[in-house]
Structure 1
Amino acid sequence: MAKSKEIRVTINLECIDCAQNFGKRCRRGISRYTTRKNRRNTPIRLELKKFCRYCGRHTIHKEIKK
């Protein structure tokens, strides 16, 4: 049988400030969140404003590949 594609998928969100400035400003790590999205309603990569505990402020978190 063919493998069915799931409508809701689990994605990872990563802080773009920590990823760009790793080693300069955010020495401890890179902030990542896990969430789910509907593939049919949002086919493009997701961007959310979340709190980054390493930067200490709200920053944009973008969807990354698993």
Structure 2
Amino acid sequence: MPREIVILECTECKRRNYTTKKEKRNTPGRLEFSKYCKFERKHTLHKERSK
């Protein structure tokens, strides 16, 4: 099964800043990362969104 490309959206400004890949079989839930948001100029929580 190939990896799926997912989009990470900032929870504060709602912009989609990052893309990454994930294996749905190993991580069935939604991804959450603390990443840098260049629009907010700080680290914020980024959650997986659909395309």
The two structures share one fold, judged by TM-score above 0.5: yes
| CA apart distance, 1:32 | 1.5
Task: Choose the corresponding residue for 1:34, options 9, 14, 19.
Answer: 19
Contact 1:31 1:53 in 2 (8 A): no
Q: Calculate the aligned-residue CA RMSD, in Å.
A: 1.1
Show the counterpart of 2:9. 14
| Deviation >4 Å, runs of 4+ | none
Identity of aligned residues (%): 47
TM-score (norm 2): 0.90
Runs of 5+ in structure 2 lacking a partner?
none
Aligned pair 1:60/2:45, yes or no? Answer: yes
Structure 1 segments unaligned to the other structure (5+ residues): 1-5, 20-29
Q: When you count strand as a share of all residues, which structure comes out higher?
A: 2
Larger Rg: 1
Contact 1:7 1:40 in 2 (8 A): no
More helix by share: 1
Matches of 1:12 and 1:43, distance apart in 2: 15
